[in-house]
Copies of this chain bind each other. A is one copy, B any other.
């Protein structure tokens, strides 16, 4: 029986998550529902309960830092909460001008647009990708080699309406399959006769995460920067009212 919006918070608390963590997770799932990304929404509450190593008391760790760089390890925390810790840290101590953040053992990461929107609303531009179990085969055949691998980009706007692009390289996301909105056969790179393009992007992004954070488990790769310029208002003016990525 599907989880109803008003019971999300209690259901998450019943899994053992504390106040702020439970609220963050509930906000993420409800935001995904509102944006029509139901595969990242309420269906995930029941899915969480099925994870064998769920440890609501785990905390991510900032393992190493250098100017313009941070490396985190989820240490058994849900990827959502690791990314939340990273975003909160970036907002509290903004990069000047840029920071690369890598995270090992960071899964699941949910709807990546949520995290770059958080940063964009705090005035930071960001690019974020993350790995996940291999589900997409090479367009030439063979076994699944890459995850559905999303790439999200958030750009703040002085107009208050950031652009949030959040694109999975798969025709259908695993979340959509989980939500019963897509068939498993749609877990292929998107683009039909140009699927080699999205496969190449998925492979390149997956290897970038793995080169930085390892292939032991899943990870994330984020670049955040304090923008020097404010290109969104002009773009929105030229788009003349067309719905742009991230608009509700």
Contact = CB atoms under 8 A, between A and B. Distances in A.
A51 interface: no
Given A143-B238, A153-B205, A167-B201, A212 B227 contact: yes
Nearest to A96: B66
Interface in A153-176: 153-156, 163, 165-168, 171
Contacts of A154: 204
Nearest to A69: B98
Interface residues of A, number: 68
Interface stretch (A11-19, A38-46, A72-80, A229-237): A229-237
A208 B145 contact: no
A180 interface: no
A151 interface: yes
A37 B31 CA distance: 42
Given A66-B67, A239-B138, A239-B145, A211 B190 contact: no
A213 interface: yes
A99 B68 contact: yes
A225 interface: yes
Interface string A126-166: 01000000000010111101000001111110000001011
A71 B165 CA distance: 25
A151 B203 CA distance: 12
A207 B155 contact: yes
Contacts of A245: 199-200, 203-204
A191 interface: yes
Given A68-B68, A215-B231, 4 more contacts: A125-B208, A142-B242, A191-B198, A203-B235
Interface of A: 66-69, 71, 96-100, 125, 127, 138, 140-143, 145, 151-156, 163, 165-168, 171, 190-194, 197-201, 203-205, 207-208, 210-215, 223, 225, 227-232, 234-235, 238-240, 242-245
